[in-house]
Homo-oligomer: A and B are copies of this chain.
Amino acid sequence: MDIKEKLVCLRKLMIENNIDYYYIPTSDFHLSEYVGDYFKERAFMSGFNGSAGYLLIGLNDAYLWTDGRYFIQAEKDLKNTTITLMKMGEENVPTIFEFLKKNGKDKTIAFDGRCVPSSFGYALDFLGLKIISNVDLVNYIWKNRPSLPNSKAYILDLKYAGEDINSKINKLINNLDDEHASLSIITSLDDIMWILNLRGDDVYCNPVLLSYLIIYKDHLDLYIDKNKLNDEIINYLNKSNVNIKNYNDIYNDIKEFKNEAILLDKNKVNYQILSLIKDNNKIISKENKSTYLKAIKNDIEIKNTKYAHELDAVAMIKFIYWLKNNVGKIKITELSASDKLLSFRKENEYFKDISFETIAGYGPHGAIIHYAPNEETNIEILPNNLLLVDSGGHYLYGTTDITRTIVLGNISNIMKRHFTLVLKSHLNLLNAKFLKGTTGATLDFAARQPLWQNGLDYKHGTGHGVGYLLNVHEGPQRINYNARNVSIDAGMITSDEPGLYLENEYGIRHESLILAIKDKKNEFGEFLKFEPLTLVPFDKDGIDKSLLNEEEINILNNYHKLVYDKISPYLDNELKAYLKELCKEI
């Protein structure tokens, strides 16, 4: 079937069910950042394959919204499909809400309510549309639909997790009392994995298992495909009063809830779940308690994560050595460089997977913030330009995320100036001391200031939280001037990743993960500071020393000394000598 035929089939079903619009987002039932093939209905129905976008199908028309990253690709993919491309952010292009406000009054819109956030459904409700949210029409058309992911679960041993399942469950049951709740529904996969000390491989780059969890005062119900669990795991869960139920049964079970006080996070729970319970129960919407608990790493997680970063640094340093020595001599492309880096990471026995798709952006590609090379965009890496490599790994000992911008051959003075200004930004945040209670919105200034003073900026956050062998993007903490209310507390890991992007020229980003730790406590309050977790040198070939003040030079030299001291014991003599050179004082 081509796209037009699929649309015909879908519209038949729409007419049979009195549906005026059918909406297809890009999401799984848990609103995860990445989705498995089973959930790629939008790509199936439109032919457009990008990571972001949503489709609205009317009885005579159809529209696909996507953002600037994908305009060119989407135009190509949508040719001859009769689907209109809606370029988000362009002038005179309505948002889907504006579109439906104008065209949707008293019409009926349908969608799979399991794949949209609660807030989306209520916004449509507000616009006066009738909503059908318990259908998945595409499923009737999609003959060879991939199956739901079916990876096997494994238990994360206490020596990795640092806190056992019973301790975590107790905290959450106590929290029910604190919030005057009778039960709690958790649907975000990183939360569930953290609570149960389980991991899997259901979502690309995220070591999680598709599941839902309900916490009652005396037991828990885990909704999951039982094939993912072996007897040992079932036994392990039952011992902690966790019952196993079928993945999809949650929707039937929660329908029966009456007069319960249900604790959940409206921003994380899908529309269908909330719709089924909101009328007969009291909803207490709060950020999941586990989200904050998970963000404060325990002592064992911290010790392990430091080890993971040492292992990861070895791979990165091997990669830099290989690249700098071979560029211009053998053919290297963005994709082959990514593969090479992966091969170095794989040399380590504790490496499990990459933590996100490797961004290897050479020259102008470095300026595309969300760029990841594919067969069509792949270009050769040659001397006299910059290569931005943003990558990370999942290890049993934790998750890494690092960006280094590598100088190849000779670069211009202006490139060095930009490279150095971004480094100033990075170092200024790394070096920050701050009072307990300070939020990421305030700390952001430390990183922005050196760029803002020069009329420069980067259009992304400075820092995101990172999980432990879990998602590489985990809240609640963020460092960004629009991030509100969440303080950076001792034990939190965030990235420190200022950048600078010159369209069609080059991109620069310097990213390390940093750990917030306690500093001095005195009559002025309790202070915190950062400790770098990432231990890979910055490329001195990009530095214009005249732009750094004495303090910044000291911070950099101290960091490089730390890198050498920690990482050189892992290296053979040749690499050790190379690292010594990379870490020499400026």
Interface residues of A (CB under 8 A from B): 431-435, 437-439, 441-446, 448-449, 452-453, 455-457, 481-482, 484-485, 503, 519-520, 522-525, 527, 549-550
Asked whether A457 lies within 8 Å of B524 as measured between CB atoms, the reply is yes
Which 5 interchain pairs have the tightest Cβ spacing? A445-B445, A457-B524, A442-B481, A442-B445, A441-B441
Of residues A439, A441, A446, A527, which shows the largest number of chain B Cβ atoms within 10 Å of its Cβ? A441
Q: How far is the CB of A177 from chain B (nearest CB, A)?
A: 18
Chain B residues whose C-beta falls within 8 Å of the C-beta of A437 in the assembled complex: 481-482
Chain B residues whose C-beta falls within 8 Å of the C-beta of A434 in the assembled complex: 445, 448, 452
Asked whether B481 lies within 8 Å of A438 as measured between CB atoms, the reply is yes
| Contact pick for A433, options B432, B455, B525, B527, CB 8 Å | B455
Chain B residues whose C-beta falls within 8 Å of the C-beta of A441 in the assembled complex: 439, 441-442
Asked whether A433 lies within 8 Å of B452 as measured between CB atoms, the reply is yes
| Complex Cα gap A80–B444 (Å) | 54
Can you sample 28 A-B contacts with CB below 8 Å? Answer: A432-B449, A432-B453, A433-B452, A433-B453, A433-B455, A434-B448, A434-B452, A435-B448, A435-B457, A437-B481, A439-B441, A441-B441, A442-B442, A442-B444, A442-B448, A442-B481, A443-B445, A444-B445, A446-B449, A452-B527, A455-B519, A455-B520, A455-B527, A457-B524, A484-B484, A484-B485, A503-B523, A549-B549
Q: How far is the CB of A174 from chain B (nearest CB, A)?
A: 22
| Complex Cα gap A443–B522 (Å) | 24
Chain B residues whose C-beta falls within 8 Å of the C-beta of A453 in the assembled complex: 431-433
Q: How far is the CB of A330 from chain B (nearest CB, A)?
A: 37
Chain B residues whose C-beta falls within 8 Å of the C-beta of A446 in the assembled complex: 445, 449
| Contact pick for A455, options B444, B485, B522, B550, CB 8 Å | B522
Asked whether B549 lies within 8 Å of A456 as measured between CB atoms, the reply is no
Chain B residue at minimal CB-CB distance from A428: B449
Given contacts A439-B481, A442-B445, contact A457 B549 (CB under 8 A): no
Of residues A439, A449, A453, A527, which shows the largest number of chain B Cβ atoms within 10 Å of its Cβ? A449
Q: How far is the CB of A397 from chain B (nearest CB, A)?
A: 32
| Complex Cα gap A453–B519 (Å) | 10
| Complex Cα gap A484–B486 (Å) | 12
Chain B residues whose C-beta falls within 8 Å of the C-beta of A523 in the assembled complex: 503
Chain B residues whose C-beta falls within 8 Å of the C-beta of A519 in the assembled complex: 455
Q: How far is the CB of A455 from chain B (nearest CB, A)?
A: 5
| Complex Cα gap A442–B449 (Å) | 10
Chain B residue at minimal CB-CB distance from A447: B445
Q: How far is the CB of A252 from chain B (nearest CB, A)?
A: 37
| Complex Cα gap A470–B483 (Å) | 33
Chain B residue at minimal CB-CB distance from A487: B481
Chain B residues whose C-beta falls within 8 Å of the C-beta of A442 in the assembled complex: 441-442, 444-445, 448, 481
| Complex Cα gap A329–B455 (Å) | 52
Chain B residue at minimal CB-CB distance from A503: B523
Asked whether A435 lies within 8 Å of B449 as measured between CB atoms, the reply is no
Chain B residues whose C-beta falls within 8 Å of the C-beta of A484 in the assembled complex: 484-485
Asked whether B524 lies within 8 Å of A455 as measured between CB atoms, the reply is yes
Chain B residues whose C-beta falls within 8 Å of the C-beta of A438 in the assembled complex: 481
Q: How far is the CB of A318 from chain B (nearest CB, A)?
A: 36
Q: How far is the CB of A278 from chain B (nearest CB, A)?
A: 23
Chain B residue at minimal CB-CB distance from A550: B549
Q: How far is the CB of A525 from chain B (nearest CB, A)?
A: 6
| Complex Cα gap A438–B457 (Å) | 12
Chain B residue at minimal CB-CB distance from A525: B457
Chain B residues whose C-beta falls within 8 Å of the C-beta of A445 in the assembled complex: 434, 442-446
Q: How far is the CB of A275 from chain B (nearest CB, A)?
A: 27
Chain B residues whose C-beta falls within 8 Å of the C-beta of A524 in the assembled complex: 455-457
| Contact pick for A452, options B435, B455, B503, CB 8 Å | B435
Of residues A441, A445, A455, A549, which shows the largest number of chain B Cβ atoms within 10 Å of its Cβ? A445
Chain B residues whose C-beta falls within 8 Å of the C-beta of A455 in the assembled complex: 433, 519-520, 522, 524, 527
Chain B residues whose C-beta falls within 8 Å of the C-beta of A485 in the assembled complex: 484
Q: How far is the CB of A555 from chain B (nearest CB, A)?
A: 12
